[in-house]
Structure formats: C-alpha cells, structure tokens
Amino acid sequence: MGYPVTLVSDAHTSAGNAVLTPRLVIEHHNATLTNIASFGPRVLAVASADLQISA
C-alpha cells in the first residue's frame, strides 16, 4: 500500500537454530528485510536509540 516501514534493528530477536545463532538471525533479518523492494518502499532499519516517532 506504499506505507513507509521502519524496522527497529536492535529490538527484534529470534531463537537460533542448529545452524544460526540468534545474533545471526537478527543480522540476516536486518540485511534481507531492508533490501526487499518488490512490495513498495524499502524498509528502513533504525537502532532504537535513533528512532524518532512523530504524531
């Protein structure tokens, strides 16, 4: 629908698995989600300390 998306890059997690540690899962999500452009605007990854929320 064209809405901008902000991913708080250090505020999500996932349990690791036999192959990837939780840190690698987070890094993978941050890298892949910010590079998907087929559904509209790209996802912007922002650290929680840098997040600015406006009304």
Residue labelled with tokens 């809405």 = 3
Contact 28, 17 (CB under 8 A): no
Contact 51, 10 (CB under 8 A): no
Q: Band of the pLDDT at 21, cuts 50, 70, 90?
A: confident
Q: In the prediction, which pLDDT does 49 show?
A: 92
The mean pLDDT of the chain is 83
- 33-45 pLDDT tens trace: 888 877 777 888 9
* Structure tokens given for 33: 């989600």
Q: Determine if the pTM surpasses 0.75.
A: no
Q: In the prediction, which pLDDT does 12 show?
A: 72
Q: Which class for 30: exposed (0-12), middle (13-18), buried (19 or more C-beta within 10 A)?
A: middle
